[in-house]
Structure 1
Amino acid sequence: MISSTDIVISICYVAFIVLLGFWAGMSGKKDSNAAGEYFLAGKSLRWPMIGMALFATNISCLHLVSLAQSGFDTGLLAGNFEWMAAFTLILLALFFIPFYIRSGVATLPDFLERRYNRNCRDWLAIVSVVSAVVIHIAFSFLAGGIVLETLFGINMFTSIIMIAVVTGAYTIVGGLRAVVVTESVQTVVLLAGAIIITILSWWKVGGWHPVIDVLQGNEQMDKLSMLRPPGDPGGLPWYAVFLGYPVIGIWYWCADQTIVQRVLGAKDENHARTGALFCGFIKVLPVFIFILPGLLAYVLYKQGALDLSALQQADGKLHTKGIYSLMITKLVPPGLVGILVAALLSGLMSQISGALNSIATLVSYDLYKRYRPEATDKQLVKTGRVAAGLALLLSIGLLPLLNRYESLFNGINDVISHIAPPITCVFLLGVFWKKASALAAQYTLWLGSALGAIVYVIGKVSPEGPLSHIPALMVAFYLFVVCMLLQVTLSFAFPMQHTPESSRLYWESPLAPLRVKGWPGLANYKVLSGVLLGVMAVLYWYFR
C-alpha cells in the first residue's frame, strides 16, 4: 500500500490529464463535429508531437510491468522488441509514409482499397478493430489492473473500470487532437518515472560491477546479451529476432491503424517522416529504463537486498508479474511513489486513448460509411464515439481469458505473431511489387488469417505439442513465408489490372523514395535514417 500523499499526487495527475484532454479536444476545433478535425486533428501535427505520440501509444502500462518482468526473468533479451522497432520505423519513414500522406487516406484499410480492392479494405478494417481491442486495450487494462490492485488494494476490475471511464471520456469527446496532446505530456511523465526507478535501483545495487559479480557467480552472464544462441532458455534465439521480428514489426509500426494514425494527422510528409524517426531514437531508451530495472531487481534479490516473499506462490515459484509494483513499494521513497504511479497511469491511459481513437476512425470510415456513403460528418463522429464506447466494454470482458498468460509480454507477442503475417505480406508486396494483384491480396488476407487462427488454436489446445518448441517469432516467420508464396503464386494466376490510382501506389525501385529532397541539414530524413542505423549497429555490437 502507498501513502496518502502519493494517492493525492496520483489523483491530481489523472484529473490534470482529463482536463487537458477536454481542453485540447475542444479548443482546437472550429467545428466539434468535423470528421477531419476529430479523427485526424485537421492534419496539423508536427514532428515532435508525432514522435512522442507514437512512442506513448506504443509504450503502455503493459510495457512497464511486463518488460520489468522480462528483465527479471531473462535479462535484456526482450529489448530486441524495442531496438528492432527502430529499423521498422526507418522503413515506415522511407517507404510507407510517402504513399500514406500523398494519397490523403484517413485509414490504412482505405490505402489497401486504393492499391488493391474493397474486400481487402473490409478485411483489414475488421482485423484492425479486433487487434486494437485485444492487443492495445485489453492487455493494457490487464497490466494496469494488476499494478493498481497491488499498490492501492483496489479490486482489479474496479480500478480498470475507473480508468476506462476517465480515459474514454476525453478520448471519445476530444478525438485525435486530445489524444496526441495528452500523449505528449504522458510521454514525458512516463519517461521521468521510469528514469527515477532505474536510478534508484542502480544506486541500491551499487553500480555495474556488483551486477557483473552477481551474474558471473550465478553463471547468468547471458542476461546481458541481446542475441542468444539456439536453444536458449529465454526462447528467443538470434535468428528468430532477425527473421521473425520484421514480420510483426512491419505490421505493428507500418500497417497498424492505432500506431500509424498519428502519422496520418501530420502537417506534411517531412513532419511525418521526421516524427517517425524521432520515435525511433526514443525507442533506444526502453532497454535501459524499462528492462534494466527488472534485471537490477534480480541482482538485488540475489544479493538478499530485495525481499520477494510477497511474490512467492504456494509451490515455491515467484509470481514475477508483480515485480514492478514491488520495486515501487520497496525501493521508492514516499512522494516519489506518486510520480511512479502517474507514470504507470500515463502508459495505460495513452495506450487506451490511442486505440479508442483508431477504432472510432476505422468503424466510421471503413465500415459505417461503406453502407452509408452519404453520411454527414456529424453522423461519422457520432458513430465513432459509440464504437469507442463499445470497444471499452468488450475489452473489459476479455480480461479473464487473457489473464491466463504467465507472462503478459509473451502473451501479447504470441497473439501478434498469428495476426501479422498476411497483413505484412500484402503491404510489402503492394508497395514494392508492381504485379501484386488485388485478388491475390484478398485471398492472402483471408487464407493467411484463417491459417494463423488455426495455428493459434492448435497451440492452445495442445500446449505440449509440436508447436510448443517453436518461438512465437519463428511461427510469425513461417506463416509469412506461406503468405508470400500464396500471394506471389496467385498474382501470376490472377494478374493485376491497375487503375490510374493504384499505378501510383508502388515504388518502381527501392531507391525511388530516396530521391525526395526533404528538409536541409541534420533534419533531413536521409541523414536521420543513417544516424539511427549507426546508433543501432553500435548498440547491437556492444550487447551482442
Structure 2
Amino acid sequence: MNIYDQLDVLDFAVVGIYLLVLIAIGAWISIRNKRPADENYFLAGNSLNWTSIGFNMWGTNVGPSMLIASASIGYTTGIVAGNFSWYAFIFIFLLAVVFAPRYLGARVQTLPEFMGKRFGDSTQNILAWYTIVTVLLSWLSLTLFAGGILIKQILNLPMWLSVVILLLIAGFFTMAGGLKTIAYTNVIQMVLLIIVSFALMWVGLEKVGGVSGIIEKTPSNYWNLFMPSDDANYPWVAILLGYPIMGVWFWCTDQSMVQSVLGAKNIKQGQLGANFTGWLKIIDVPLFILPGIMCFILFPDLSNPDEAYMTMVTELFPTGMKGLVMAVLIAALVSTIDSALNALSTVFTMDIFVKKFQPDASQKKIVKVGHMVTVSGAILSIFITMAIDSIKGLNLFDVFQSVLGFIAPPMSVVFLFGVLWKKTTTKAANIILIFGTLLSLLIGVLYLWVFPNDPNSAVKIWPHFLLLSFYIFVFLSIMIVIISKLDKQSNPYLSTLNYTKAKLSPKVKFLWITLITVMICLYLFFNGNY
C-alpha cells in the first residue's frame, strides 16, 4: 500500500499552512516577549505545580516517534508493548519517593550537578559527555529515524533525504521563531496529537465493530501483557528483568525527564506530579498501540508494520484531515529535534567548553561555539540515523527499545548505588561510567550491526536485548561493589547532600496506593488468555 498515493494536494497544502502559522505565532511571541535571558527561563523559578510536572513529563515521553513505533508493534504483537508504558509506574514511584527528595534536597539544577556533589567534579565532567552521547543517540538520532520513516512514507523519498529535510525544517523553525517557537507551540502540538489519536481510535473502533469486534478478530495472545517464556518477541522474563534497567535510567536519571520535577514548588508537588504522570501513562495503550491492532484487523497484508499508523490515517480520515495529522506529526517531530539540538549545544558549550577551556569566554564566543556544535551535531546525527536505518531484523519499536537498552545500564548502576549505598566511591562511579558505557555500546554495536540475529533462523546467537541489558547491569553492579570495597579512599562529597527520607503526605500516599492498585488490576486483567 503506497501511502503517498493516498494523499491529495489539499493535504500537502494543510501541512504547509500549518507549519507557516506555527512559525508566525512563535516569531510574534518571540518579538513581543523579547528580553535578556535570565535564570528563571531555565529553572522556571521552582514554580511548577503537579499538573505542569505531569503533563511535561508525559509530553516529553510521548510524541510522534512513540506513536508510530507503538502502532507498529501493536500491529505485530498486540498490547505486550504496553509494558513499556504501564510497567513504568514502578519507576515513576521510585523517582517520587527515593530520587526526587534527594535531588530537591541537594538544590541542583541538573543531574550531572547532583552527581558532582555526590562524587566530585570528575564525575560531573564524565556525565556531561555521557549526556551528549545519550542526546545524540536517544533524543536526536532516534527521533530523526522515526521522522525519516514518516517523511519517506508521505513524500516517497529515500531515508537520507527525509532526514535532511527534517533537519532543514528544524533549522528554519529556529531562525524564524527561535526556541520560543518550540516552547510556546509544544502545548498546541500535544493537545492536537491527543485529539487526533482519540479521533483515530474512535473511527477505527467503529470500523472493526466496537470493543467486542476487535477482541473477536484478533488472536487471544494480542491481549496479554506477559507472554510465555519461549515467546520469540517479548518473553515475560525479558520484560520483567530487562525493562527495570531502562526504567530506572529513563524515569529517574535522564535530565530531560526529571527536569520538570527539579522545577517543582516543593517535594509534595513533585511527588503529585510524578503520580499524575503515572495516570497519564495508562492512556498510552489506547492512544498509541490500539490503532496498530485495529490496523492488523482492517489491513492485515501490510508489507511494513511501521506504516500501520499512517495507513490508518490515510484510509480512515478524509482529505484535509490527513494533512492536519501529518502537519501535527511533522511539527511535533521538529520540536523534539530542535530541543535535542539545543540540549546538545547547551551541555557541550556550558559544561565542557566554558567550564574546562574558557571560563571567561565572551557571550559572543559562547553563541558562536553553540552554533558550531549545533551544526556539527546535526551532521553527525545524519550518519548515526543512517546507521540505525541499516539495522536488520527489528521493527521500529524494537530498534528504539534496543538502543535505549544498551544506553541505560551504566547510568542505572551509578545512580542506584550512588544514592542507595553510601560506600560507593568516586573511583568506582567513574570507572563504571567510562568502562560501562564503552562496554554497553560495544555490545550494542555487535548485537545490532556486526553479528545480528537472523530473523529467519531458529537458532539465535544472542539473548533478547532486554536480557542483555539486564546481564550488563548485573555485571556492572558487581564491578562497582568490588571497586568500592577495594578503594580505601574516603568520599568527602557525601556530606554535601541531603539524604533525609521522604515523608509522603496523606494525599500523596492515597493517590499512589490507588494508582498501584489500578495498575495491578490492569496486569491481572490482561494476563488471562494463555
- Is the deviation greater in 443-452 or in 62-71? 443-452
> 1:477 aligned to 2:499?
no
| Aligned match of 2:479 | 486
Contact 1:22 1:173 in 2 (8 A): yes
> 1:503 aligned to 2:495?
yes
What is the identity, as a one-letter code, of the residue corresponding to 1:425? V
Contact 2:102 2:499 in 1 (8 A): no
Change (3 A) 1:6 1:174: closer
| Aligned match of 2:204 | 201
Q: 1:349 aligns with which of 334, 339, 348?
A: 334
| Aligned match of 1:362 | 347
- Is the deviation greater in 189-198 or in 353-362? 353-362
**Superposition deviation, residue 496 in structure 1:** 5.8
Contact 1:244 1:474 in 2 (8 A): yes
**Superposition deviation, residue 228 in structure 1:** 0.8
- Is the deviation greater in 333-342 or in 413-422? 333-342
| Aligned match of 1:18 | 23
Change (3 A) 1:534 1:12: farther
**Superposition deviation, residue 536 in structure 1:** 1.5
| Aligned match of 2:450 | 461
Change (3 A) 1:271 1:442: same
What is the identity, as a one-letter code, of the residue corresponding to 1:399? T
Q: 1:442 aligns with which of 430, 446, 449?
A: 430
> 1:183 aligned to 2:186?
yes
What is the identity, as a one-letter code, of the residue corresponding to 2:484? S
What is the CA–CA distance in structure 2 between the aligned matches of 1:117 and 1:59, rounded to whole Å?
34
- Which deviations, in whole Å up to 9, do the C-alpha atoms of 1:78-117 show, x marking residues without a partner? 1111112222222222222233333333322222111112
What is the identity, as a one-letter code, of the residue corresponding to 1:537? I
**Superposition deviation, residue 339 in structure 1:** 2.9
| 1:104-115 map, 5 Å | 104-115=107-118
**Superposition deviation, residue 397 in structure 1:** 2.8
**Superposition deviation, residue 467 in structure 1:** 6.8
> 1:245 aligned to 2:243?
yes
| 1:102-181 map, 5 Å | 102-153=105-156, 156-168=159-171, 179-181=182-184
> 1:537 aligned to 2:520?
yes
State the identity %: 32
- Which deviations, in whole Å up to 9, do the C-alpha atoms of 1:455-501 show, x marking residues without a partner? 223323222498744111111111111111111111111146343x5
| Aligned match of 1:299 | 297
What is the CA–CA distance in structure 2 between the aligned matches of 1:275 and 1:165, rounded to whole Å?
35
- Which deviations, in whole Å up to 9, do the C-alpha atoms of 1:194-242 show, x marking residues without a partner? 1111111111111122223223xxxx311111111101132x2222222
Contact 2:47 2:265 in 1 (8 A): yes
| Aligned match of 2:381 | 395
| Aligned match of 1:50 | 53
**Superposition deviation, residue 137 in structure 1:** 1.5
| Aligned match of 2:416 | 428
Change (3 A) 1:342 1:536: farther
What is the CA–CA distance in structure 1 between the aligned matches of 2:163 and 2:229, rounded to whole Å?
39
Contact 1:72 1:294 in 2 (8 A): yes
Contact 2:264 2:270 in 1 (8 A): yes
Q: 2:309 aligns with which of 316, 319, 324?
A: 324
What is the identity, as a one-letter code, of the residue corresponding to 2:437? S
Secondary structure at 2:230's aligned position in 1?
coil
What is the CA–CA distance in structure 1 between the aligned matches of 2:172 and 2:404, rounded to whole Å?
28
What is the CA–CA distance in structure 1 between the aligned matches of 2:297 and 2:209, rounded to whole Å?
10
| Aligned match of 2:279 | 281
Aligned pair count?
514
> 1:98 aligned to 2:101?
yes
| Aligned match of 1:314 | none
Contact 2:205 2:214 in 1 (8 A): no
Change (3 A) 1:413 1:25: farther
**Superposition deviation, residue 428 in structure 1:** 0.8
**Structure 2 residues without counterparts, runs of 5 or longer:** none
- Is the deviation greater in 366-375 or in 199-208? 366-375
| Aligned match of 1:337 | 322
| 1:258-273 map, 5 Å | 258-273=256-271
> 1:224 aligned to 2:223?
yes
**Superposition deviation, residue 168 in structure 1:** 4.1
What is the identity, as a one-letter code, of the residue corresponding to 2:153? T
Q: With structure 1 as the length reference, what TM-score do the two structures score?
A: 0.86
What is the CA–CA distance in structure 1 between the aligned matches of 2:92 and 2:181, rounded to whole Å?
24
Change (3 A) 1:102 1:15: farther
Secondary structure at 1:105's aligned position in 2?
coil
Change (3 A) 1:242 1:291: same
**Structure 1 residues without counterparts, runs of 5 or longer:** 303-307, 312-317
- Which deviations, in whole Å up to 9, do the C-alpha atoms of 1:494-514 show, x marking residues without a partner? 146343x53243646xxx112
Change (3 A) 1:357 1:531: farther
Secondary structure at 2:502's aligned position in 1?
helix
Contact 1:197 1:328 in 2 (8 A): yes
Contact 2:407 2:440 in 1 (8 A): yes
